[in-house]
Amino acid sequence: MKKMPGAGRKLPEKHGMAGGVRPVLAVVALLLAPVVVLVVGAGPGKAQTAEPARYTVENLGTLGGATIARGVNTSGRVTGQSQKRVENGSLQLRAFSWDGGPMEDLGTLGGPTSAGRGINDAGQVVGFSRISALNNQQRAFLAERDAQGGTRMLALGTLPGFTSSEASAINASGQIAGRTYSSSTSGRAFLSRKDGDGPAPMKDLGVLVPGKDTYSEAWAINDSGQVVGESGIHEDQGEAFLYSEGAIKGLGILPGQLYSEAMGIDDSGRIVGWSYTSRANVQGRAFLYEGGEMRDLGALPGDLYSMARAIDEHGRVVGQSRDAGGQNRAFLWEDGEMVDLNALIPAASPLRLLDAYAIGESGKIVGSAFDQAGQVRAYLLTPNDATAPGTAAGVSPGPNAAGWNREDVTVTLEATDEGGSNVEGITYSASGAQPIDGRTVSGGSTQLRITAEGETTVTYSARDHAGNAEEPRTLTVRLDKTAPRVDVATPADGAEYKLGGILAAGYACSDGGSGVTSCAGPIPDGGNIDTASVGQKTFAVEAADEAGNAASESHTYGVVYDFGGFFSPVDNPGVLNRVQAGSAVPVKFGLSGDQGLDVFAEGYPRSQRITCDSAAPVDDIEQTVGARESGLAYDPTADQYSYVWKTSKAWSGTCRQLVVKLNDGTAHRANFRFR
C-alpha cells in the first residue's frame, strides 16, 4: 500500500494507547497506566501457530515506555509513537522512526509530545505534535531528512477558525491528509503538502451534509489523491466518506449499526473501516467498501466486534478483532477469510499481537502487541516468502486462429505473488520486429504497445519484495497490418479486345507479411477471359493474408466488334467524301460475321455539321442508291452490313460527319462535303 495511510486512531487513542485523546495530557496519563482498557483480559500469552510460520515478527523496541507502530513503507521503515522519559523524569509521547536499528525520536514542534501516523516510500513521516507545554494545541507535521542527515519537522498549520491539526497519512507524491479541529464537534478534513520550504495552504474537504455536519476528519489517502474518513455532528458519530475529484460522498452504514468510519484505501479505490454502534465500548464491525457496496468482514471466531484499519493493493486487510470481554487480537483478512495474525507467526514468539494498524506494499504489517512482561510494544511482521511471483501475459485485441493480428497490439503483463511480500516490479524486453531494451517497472502490472509489423518476442519476469524472481517467460506477437498486393496483367485496365477472341487471364497476389491465403479472380490465372459478348466488362481479383487483411484489384475492359472500317464507296476519315445533297449513300462495313441487325447503339447512326476547311483530299461518292431504300441489312455472301444514309438537299454547300456508333460502345466516323 504505497500511501501508508496509518489507518485508524480512534480505538486505542480513546482507550489508552495513542496521542489523540484531547487534551494530550490525558494521553500521557493513559500511556502510563499499567493495564490499558484496549486489551482488558489479555495477557502476554498468544495463540499457537502451525509451522512453518507465514511471518517473522520483530519487536521494534521502545524509547522508554509503551510503544505502537502506526505506519510502514515498502522498504520496512516504520513510524509510530513511544513513551520517552524526559529530563524532568516524566514519560512523554514521542513520534519515532525505525529503520532496522535503534528507534529514533523525531522530536516535537516545541511542546512536550508528538506522534507519528503515516510514512511514504520516500521516508517522509506525518503526524502531530503539541506546540507548547502551556496549552493543548497541536499541529500536523511533516518530518523528513535534511541535508545534514538530521530530521526536520515542518508544522503544517490549521484551517482558519480552528485551533489544532493532525496529519494521518501521506501518499507517494507527498499529499497529506488529516484533520484540523477545535473540539470533538468542530473540525474539518484537510489536504495539504509541502511547498518549497514551507507548507502549502490547507484545502478544506468539507462535510457530507452542509448545514448539519459540523465535523469531518481524514484518515487515509491513496496515490491518486482519493481521501477517506468520516463526517458528522461529532467525531464519534459520523458516516464514512470518500473524497475524490473535488467531491465528497457518503459510503453508508452496515445494517444494524449507527455510524461508520473509513480508515484505509488502496490505489484501486477499495476502502476499509468499521461501522459501529458505540465507539466508547468498541462495538462495531469491520467493512470493505467495493463496487458501491459495503461488506461486513465479520470477526475472528468467538469475537463480536472488529475494526479494519488498512488495505494493501492485493486486497489484504488488517485490523483488530475484539471479544465481549474486551480482549483484542490482530487480524489479517484475505480471500474472504479473517485469520488471527497470532496464528501466522512463530509459536515461540514472546509477543501477543493486539492490533494491526498498517500493511505496506511489501506485505509488511505493523501494530501493537504485548511482550512477555505485559508491556505494549510496536511490532513488524515480514512475510516468509520463498515463492516467486507469476506473470500472466495478455494481448488486446487477441490474435486470429492463425496467430496473427492486423492492428496494433497492447500487451498487458499482470503479476501476482502468493508468498505474501507482493510484486516489486516487472522486467521486460523485446526482440524481433520491434526491439525494446530491457526495462523494469514498479508494481504488479504494466502495458506495452506493439506497432511494428512482423514477429516481436516479448521476454518478461516479475520479482517480489522478498527478492524472489520468476523464470523469464516469452510471448510472441505476430503483426501484419498491410494488405496483400494484387497485380492484374491481363485484361489490361481500359483495354479493348475483339469479340470472340482468345484471351488468357494473367494475375498474381503477393504478401510480405503473414503470407497469402487466397488469390481468386472470376477465372483461374491462365484461363480464358470472357469475350463472348460485346460491351464493358469488369475483371476483379481478391486476395487475403493470414492476418485477415484483404485487398482487391479491378480492371475494366471492353469487348468490341472486329470493325474493319467503312467499305467503298465511303472512304474512311482522312478523306472528305463528296456527295450530291439529297441523295442516299450506301454505308457498308463488316463485323467479322453476322452479329444480328441490332448492332447500332440507340439513336445512331446520326450526322453533325463540321467545317469544310479540312485539307483532307476529296473523293466523289460514285455509288448512290434510291432515296426509298433505308435501314440496315446484312449480306452473308460478302459478309457485309449495309446501311442507307438518306441525305438532305438542304445540306448543299456544307460539310457533315456521319457517326456510326455500335452497341459495343465504339463510334466510327466518315466526313462528307455536299454539293
Q: Give 456's pLDDT tier (boundaries 50, 70, 90).
A: very high
Say how far apart CA 499 and CA 504 lie, in whole Å.
Answer: 14
28 band by pLDDT with thresholds 50, 70 and 90: very low
What mean pLDDT is predicted for residues 543-558? 97
- What is the C-alpha separation between 26 and 591, in angstroms, rounded? 120
- Which runs of consecutive H residues, i.e. helices, occur in 397-474? none
Residue 37 binned pLDDT confidence (cut-offs 50, 70, 90): very low
Task: Evaluate the omega torsion of the peptide bond into residue 491 and state whether it is cis, within 30 degrees of 0.
Answer: yes
Residue 220 CB coordination number (10 Å): 32
pLDDT at 180 over 90: yes
Determine the average pLDDT of the residues in 41-62. Answer: 71
Query: pTM of the entire structure?
Result: 0.75
Query: Coil, strand or helix: which one is 204?
Result: strand
* pLDDT confidence tier of residue 29, bands split at 50, 70 and 90: very low
Closest CA to 352 of 367, 362, 337, 339: 367
Q: What is the predicted pLDDT for the residue at 188?
A: 98
pLDDT tens per residue, range 345-383 = 999 999 999 999 999 999 999 999 999 999 999 999 999
pLDDT for res 583:
92
| pLDDT at residue 39 in the model | 36
3-state secondary structure of 32: helix
pLDDT of residue 321: 98
Encode 220-282 in three state secondary structure: EECCCCCEEEEEEEECCEEEEEEEECCEEEECCCCCCCCEEEEEEECCCCCEEEEEEEECCCC
Q: What are the angstrom distances between the C-alpha of 317 and each of 68, 312, 357, 422, 574?
A: 19, 7, 10, 14, 100
In a 13 Å sphere around the CA of 269, the CA atoms on its Cβ side amount to 10
Torsion of CA 57, 275, 216, 357, to 10 degrees: 0
pLDDT > 70 in the chain, percent:
91
